[in-house]
Amino acid sequence: MKHIIDIIYGGFKNINELFNRKQMIQRLSLFGILALFLIYEMALQIFPSIIANNLMSALNISAFSLGIISAGFFVSYTFMQIPVGVIYDHKGFKVAVLMAMLTCSIGAAIFSIAHTVFLAVIARVFMGFGGAFAFVGTLLVASHCFSLRYFSFFAGLTQFIAAMGPLIGQLVLAHYVNADTWRIFSFSLALFGLCLVMLFSLFRLRNVSLHKKNFEKGETIMTNLKYIFKRRQSWTIAFYAMFLWAPMSVFASLWGIPYLQLCYGFSKIVAANLCSFMWLGIAVGSPLLGWLMGRFSRDSLFFKLCPLLGILASFSLWFGVGTNILTVTCLVFLLGLACSGQALSFSIIKKTTDHKYLSSAFGFNNMAIVISGLIFQPLVGKIVDFFSIGAASELTAPALQRAIFILPLFFIIAQLLSFLFKSSPVDQSYQKQPVLC
């Protein structure tokens, strides 16, 4: 009888293990699909930087107009950061993600046939609207499909994927995209988005409704926003993160490739490869700095070191026209490493914000980070136009050299803001959230 019980128990144990294994594969598959969506969104974001000269020639536009087209992505992407969470809650996870993927695909298709600045901007706005769901959606999968024990790992993996998307995009697309093929590649990106839509539509979720906030009686979303807006610490952290990320928005996402081509004499492929090292610096620096800060518990030290590193690297890059490719590679990597300090701002928010307002605080801070592209990409384009000699649609080395001086200024402002931080932790309690699959 005992042997029979052992056999039955062993059978149930094997079935339970098989079920858990199947469930884990399903959760990892869901995370993988959202990770592909995140890479897709980041590729759409940096696409104009790869075809900057081709786009200016095809549409006969100035550098300022190119900046406006590129920044169109950040208009919708930025202002959707806080509403994204509301849409996920009210429309359900699957519906929201499908809508976002389809919107990105439509934007890429419109961009492939754009012959005017207006239509190109509309296309970029569509891309930004859909792309705003990618990063938040991937984090939601990590938080709802995996236990708190593994959440930190998957959150770090999400940041790594977000950085690797532009890196892969610049390495791959720069080799094949030229004046004759950029429209074809834009349409190919649209088709890839449709493939993601069909793939995700086949995925069945056990619970498509995300966990909803339990507000106390009388509290609304506006209550959370008022709490955030009235705190000086919220604005200090947000501006620090914005100025520390601004070099990524300006250099890596748009003006870095033309700058390295004209001021250093590199080919487009070499310049794109060099800019990809800035994203590599982000990919390496974000988890590394997070681990170091947790290991040594020296928040203020790392908040001051990152801008300082950026000041040294950006001034060296600005002064060092004519240096060898190895030196430029190291400087660009160090720029990315310095910019990765913006991820530490979320750590301070988590420590100093009441858990009831944490989601709003994260959304506000992330909006400040991405708004840097909306503001500073056109600003640099305007500076380039101001210093350009001759045709406004032609980029020149002296104009770019003067415009890129803004990079050290970003880091200097972030350095000054780093002295205003207060890192006094707030006691928080976390509730277990339901899984999606």
The pLDDT of residue 373 is 77
**150: its two tokens:** 């593994």
Same domain, 199 and 263: no
Q: What is the DSSP letter of 388?
A: -
22 part of a folded domain: no
Domain-ending residue, one of 160, 188, 204: 204
SS3 category, 240 = helix
Tally of helices (H runs) and strands (E runs) in the chain: 18, 0
Question: Could you give the residue ranges of the DSSP H alpha helices within 146-231?
Answer: 148-176, 182-201, 221-230
- Separation of alpha carbons 205 and 209, rounded Å: 9
- Separation of alpha carbons 46 and 37, rounded Å: 15
> 182 near 57, Cβ under 8 Å?
no
Q: Is 347 exposed, middle or buried (0-12, 13-18, 19+ CB in 10 A)?
A: middle
Closest CA to 283 of 349, 343, 365, 241: 343
225 part of a folded domain: no
Same domain, 337 and 406: yes
Same domain, 345 and 270: yes
> 124 near 72, Cβ under 8 Å?
yes
The pLDDT of residue 271 is 86
Domain-ending residue, one of 160, 189, 204: 204
Same domain, 190 and 237: no
Listed in sequence order, the residues at least 6 apart from 36 whose beta carbon sits closer than 8 Å to its beta carbon are 196
The pLDDT of residue 431 is 41
Q: What is the DSSP string of 310-337?
A: HHHHHHHHHH-TT--HHHHHHHHHHHHH
Same domain, 306 and 399: yes
- Separation of alpha carbons 135 and 314, rounded Å: 28
Listed in sequence order, the residues at least 6 apart from 136 whose beta carbon sits closer than 8 Å to its beta carbon are 81, 84, 85, 88
> 374 near 74, Cβ under 8 Å?
yes
- Separation of alpha carbons 89 and 209, rounded Å: 7
Distances (CA, A) of 242 to 35, 222, 340, 416: 24, 23, 12, 13
Closest CA to 134 of 59, 193, 179, 184: 193
The pLDDT of residue 207 is 47
Scan for tokens 């200090």, then name that residue: 236
314 part of a folded domain: yes
Same domain, 48 and 144: yes
The pLDDT of residue 272 is 82
SS3 category, 432 = coil
Same domain, 196 and 247: no
Closest CA to 174 of 64, 71, 318, 53: 53
Same domain, 200 and 234: no
Alpha-carbon 210 to chain mean position: 22
Same domain, 200 and 242: no
Same domain, 178 and 284: no
Residue 134: CATH number of its domain: 1.20.1250.20
Same domain, 289 and 181: no
17 part of a folded domain: no
- Separation of alpha carbons 345 and 401, rounded Å: 30
* pTM, rounded to two decimals: 0.70
371 part of a folded domain: yes
Range of the domain at 412: 230-425
Domain-ending residue, one of 186, 204, 222: 204
432 part of a folded domain: no
> 377 near 74, Cβ under 8 Å?
yes
Tell me which amino acid residue 324 is.
N
255 part of a folded domain: yes
Same domain, 196 and 243: no
- Separation of alpha carbons 104 and 127, rounded Å: 4
Looking at the structure of the chain, the number of domains it has is 2
179 part of a folded domain: yes
The pLDDT of residue 224 is 65
pLDDT, tens digit only, all 437 positions of the chain: 454 444 444 444 444 444 477 777 888 888 889 989 998 998 888 888 777 777 888 888 887 888 888 888 888 888 888 777 667 656 677 888 999 999 999 999 999 898 888 999 999 999 999 998 888 788 777 767 776 556 556 666 777 777 776 666 666 666 667 666 788 888 989 999 999 999 998 877 654 444 444 445 555 566 767 777 888 888 998 999 899 989 988 888 778 888 888 888 888 888 888 888 888 888 888 777 777 776 666 667 888 899 999 999 999 888 875 578 888 999 999 999 999 888 777 777 767 777 666 666 777 887 888 788 778 888 888 888 887 765 555 777 888 888 888 899 999 999 999 888 765 554 444 444 444 55
